[in-house]
């Protein structure tokens, strides 16, 4: 099993920045790709970004140029730097991991999930 714990969420004004962290523990060798998803009230969970163990990344169009995903393999931690935040970025952000290869945008590919962290962007 892999345990994922997110941190770094909070309340920020539009145009501000936040950095989310996701610490992985357990059978960390069993995952290859880590990703971030988000879910706003009344909406489906959506893909935000993903990164492979070698640093290849993929982003949703809605966050390209504003968000940056990175990882520190030595610390088993993945980060999401979020800049130029907008009110529509408000959501619960979830960290996820998968043993499958490929930068999948569908949540069905991901085996492990964190508990989520709330991000609220005020206008």
Q: State pLDDT tens for residues 32-56.
A: 899 999 999 999 999 999 999 889 9
**pLDDT(58) > 70:** yes
Q: CA 22 to CA 6: how far, in whole Å?
A: 4
Q: What is the mean pLDDT of residues 13-33?
A: 89
Q: Residues 63-111: pLDDT tens digits? A: 999 999 999 988 999 999 999 999 999 999 999 999 888 888 999 999 9
In the prediction, which pLDDT does 99 show?
87
In contact, 54 and 70? CB cutoff 8 Å: no
> How far apart, in Å, are the Cα atoms of 5 and each of 109, 120, 123?
19, 19, 28
**pLDDT(26) > 90:** no
Q: Which residues contact 117 (CB under 8 A, 6 or more apart)?
A: 6, 7, 8, 9, 20, 92, 93
Nearest to 79 by CA among 35, 15, 26: 35
In the prediction, which pLDDT does 40 show?
96
pLDDT tier, 22 (very low <50, low <70, confident <90, very high otherwise) = very high
* Exposure letters 93-102 (e unless 16+ CB within 10 A, then b): bbbbbbeeee
In the prediction, which pLDDT does 30 show?
61
DSSP state for residue 61 in the 8-state scheme: T
């Amino acid at each position: 099993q892999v345990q994922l714990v997110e941190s770094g969420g909070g309340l920020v004004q539009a145009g501000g920045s936040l950095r989310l962290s996701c610490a992985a523990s357990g059978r960390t060798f069993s995952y290859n790709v880590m990703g971030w998803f988000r879910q706003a009230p009344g909406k489906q969970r959506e893909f935000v970004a993903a990164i492979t163990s070698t640093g290849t990344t993929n982003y949703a169009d809605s966050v390209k140029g504003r968000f940056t995903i990175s990882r520190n393999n030595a610390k088993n931690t993945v980060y999401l730097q979020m800049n130029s935040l907008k009110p529509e970025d408000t959501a619960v952000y979830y960290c996820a991991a998968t043993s499958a290869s490929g930068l999948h945008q569908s949540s069905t590919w991901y085996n492990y999930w964190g508990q989520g962290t709330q991000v609220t962007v005020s206008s």
